[in-house]
Amino acid sequence: MSAANAPISATQDTPSLLAQRFQAAVGKAVGDEHASANPQVRPANNPKFGDYQANLAMGLAKQLGQKPRDLAQKIVDALDVSGLCEKVEIAGPGFINLYLSEAFIDRQVAAMTSDADRLGVAPADPPRTVVVDYSGPNVAKEMHVGHLRSTVIGDCIARTLDFQGHRVIRQNHLGDWGTQFGMLIEHLIESVSPEKLASASFEIGDLNAFYQQAKKKFDQDTGFADRARARVVALQGGDKQTHKLWQALYNKSVEHFDAAYSRMGVLLTDDDIHGESFYNPKLPAVIEGLKKANTLKESQGAKVVFPDGFVDREGEPQPIIVQKSDGGYLYATTDLAAARYRIDELGADRVIYVTDARQSQHFAMVFATLRQVGWASQQVQLDHVPFGTVLGKDHKPFKTREGGTVKLIDLLDEAQRRAVEVVKQKNPDLSTDRCEQIAHAIGIGALKYADLSSDRIKDYVFDWDRMLSFEGNTAPYLQNAFVRIRSIFRKGEIAPGSLADAAIAIRQPTERALAVKLLQLPEVIEAVAQSLEPHRLCTYLYELASAFHQFYEKCSVLNAADEPTKHSRLALCELTARTLEKGLGLLGIGVVEQM
């Protein structure tokens, strides 16, 4: 059976269905050897020019030495879009505009409506094992605004891939080993009372201060620096007192991290923690493996690898250092050990690292080394997900008024406080408990959405007023759209979900625009999974909410002209609410029933 005559699947996204028809048409028009060309089907930017647009003619015409518009006409002449489109037009130099048929829209929306859990998103086939490395705070330090981006971006990526049906393994690579712990533990032993030391009853705020004191001492006192390095050796050697203090620092820090994750609705748990200390015993094997692969070299007393393709400013091969001249290991060594563990023992065929953009070259060199040594085959996908910096209104890195680092917990507190004020203004009759519950969803949601809705590679300006606004591309705007839909059902005394079997009939322009936007969910999910860019989902949800508001202004729902139209529109409203809820859920943001 040819692609053109294949039955239409309700579990296939619209671009895939159209792409099959285009590939069949290209085969007929210019030969089967070109049938695999990418049709480049994507949503049209302006509904005046159709619902979708295919841009393959320009690139293919260049290969064939033909005029793009002439080639576009040949493809359209051979194109069979029966059952999908009511009209196909050629525009400009060779764009092919596609207008979906009413019958196709009705059918696909009805299938999506009856698919309560998947909403038309087909399970991954085949599913992959994906490791997502994100958050990665440092033990003995409070989480700060710098941890916000890795945590929320990584959590969204993990949720999205999990929803697709992949086996997702979250990994929290804590900074919990190395010289800084020898420095901190030595300082505690020398400056804290024996009683407090014996009980190891530290608070996370105390540890911040202790760390700063220890770092100052380490930089200024060579004797202390020597003792701190000796303390690292004692820690690595299993000295009981040293390890007990390290464990106390670790436990208190994890307690602090868990509290932050819980408040943020982040899905990381203690079982996901594999910090630097976990990989420490595996580091000698990394050096031995590099040696056996004949890639280990010596440079100025240190052991290094020269990954293919990396040179310094002088054009000389650039090394990645894996062992210092004193025998100490570096971040690269740990990252190589972690990658081997994730690929060999966890069975990952895709590994995703979510860190700030400053580490881009580091991970590029680590990935190149993994390929070069053969520890990561070409079947294993390695992705670094870089992100920019959170800026203040002065467009400089976001700081407190005093110029210090903004603590993440303080940021969460402020988000909740400001959201309480917004909720009270909007609905002063709410009880205190209900107000706090709603404010939590709005405040934390606004904080996360402001981050996720920005193109992650770019810096973004932190602005409380903008992120908590009920207008524009914000979490409160989307949450309020969900509330508005729920209020329709409450007013009509209709149970949400009771109209899953309602006949769908999309006829009005704004009704149609909303339906077409709903049908784009599967392709948006796939785009996020491939690009690892959460802002694509945010943009889609904002456009969906905007389309709903335009529909609601133009089309009466509860007072529709007849019962079939009323039920069809209610089903469309319910599908919009479930899509908003699912989309926000993938961002790690909750919805509320009222505001």
Q: What is the domain partition of the chain in residue ranges?
A: 3-100, 179-266, 279-387, 408-465, 475-586
Nearest-angstrom CA–CA distance, 394 and 567: 51
Q: What SS3 string covers 206-229?
A: HHHHHHHHHHHHHHHCHHHHHHHH
Joined together, the tokens standing for residue 29 give 């028009």
3-state secondary structure of 86: strand
* Cα(161)–Cα(526) distance, integer angstroms: 9
The encoded tokens of residue 140 equal: 């003995």
The reported pTM is: 0.94
Q: Tell the burial category of 313 from Cβ atoms under 10 Å away from its Cβ (0-12, 13-18, 19+).
A: exposed
What CATH number should be reported for the domain whose range is 279-387? 3.40.50
Q: What stretches of 356-426 show up as alpha helix (H) in DSSP?
A: 360-373, 408-426
Task: Provide the residue-wise pLDDT of the chain in tens; the chain has 595 residues.
Answer: 344 444 455 557 899 999 999 999 999 999 989 888 899 999 998 888 999 999 999 889 999 999 999 999 999 999 999 999 999 999 999 999 999 999 999 999 999 998 888 999 999 999 999 999 999 999 989 999 999 999 999 999 999 999 999 999 999 999 999 888 999 999 999 988 777 777 767 788 888 888 889 999 999 999 999 999 899 889 888 899 899 999 999 999 999 999 999 999 999 999 999 999 999 999 999 999 999 999 999 988 999 999 999 998 888 999 999 998 888 899 999 999 999 999 999 999 999 999 999 999 999 999 999 999 999 999 999 999 999 999 998 999 998 877 788 999 999 999 999 999 999 998 898 999 999 999 999 999 999 999 999 999 999 999 999 999 999 999 999 999 999 999 999 999 999 888 878 899 999 999 999 999 999 999 999 999 999 999 999 999 999 999 999 999 999 999 999 999 999 999 999 999 999 999 999 999 999 998 8
Cα angle for residues 335, 276, 271 (degrees, 5° grid): 105
Residue 210 and residue 143: Cα distance in Å, rounded? 15
CATH classification (class only), 3-100 = alpha beta
Q: Please give the single-letter amino acid code of residue 354.
A: V
Rama region for 327: left / alpha / beta (φ>0; ψ in -120 to 50; rest): left
Q: How do strand 390-391 and strand 460-461 relate by DSSP bridges?
A: parallel
Q: pLDDT digits over 316-364, tens only?
A: 999 999 998 888 899 999 999 999 999 999 999 999 999 999 999 999 9
The DSSP element (H or E) to which 261 belongs, if any, is helix 240-264
Q: Count CA atoms closer than 13 A to 488's CA, side-chain side.
A: 27
In whole angstroms, how far apart are CA 177 and each of 235, 236, 271, 273, 518? 9, 9, 18, 13, 48
CA count, 13 A, side-chain hemisphere, 564? 5
For the sheet with 41-43, list strands across it: 41-43, 52-54, 95-100, 85-91
d(CA 463, CA 109): 38
Q: Which fold has domain 475-586?
A: Isoleucyl-tRNA Synthetase; Domain 1 (1.10.730)
* Exposure string for 158-174, b = 16+ CB within 10 A, e = fewer: bbbbbbbbbbbbbbbbb
**How far apart, in whole angstroms, are the C-alpha atoms of residue 306 and residue 373?**
11
203 contact partners, CB below 8 Å, separation of at least 6: 252
SS3 351: strand
Q: Which two tokens stand for residue 82?
A: 């029966």
Cβ–Cβ contacts within 10 Å for residue 192, how many? 16
Quote the radius of gyration of the chain (alpha carbons, Å).
28
d(CA 440, CA 443): 5
> Each residue of 108-121: b (16+ CB within 10 Å) or e?
bbbbbbebeeebbb
Q: Are 170 and 134 in contact (CB under 8 A)?
A: yes
143, 253 Cβ separation under 8 angstroms: no
Peptide bond into 126 cis (omega under 30): yes
| pLDDT, tens digit, 9 for 90 and up, residues 495-550 | 988 887 889 999 999 999 999 999 999 999 999 999 999 999 999 999 999 999 99
Strand order in the sheet with 350-356: 167-171, 129-133, 350-356, 381-387
Measure the CA–CA gap between 211 and 225, rounded to whole angstroms.
14
175 bridge partner residues: 138
Cα 251 to Cα 176: distance, rounded to the nearest angstrom: 11
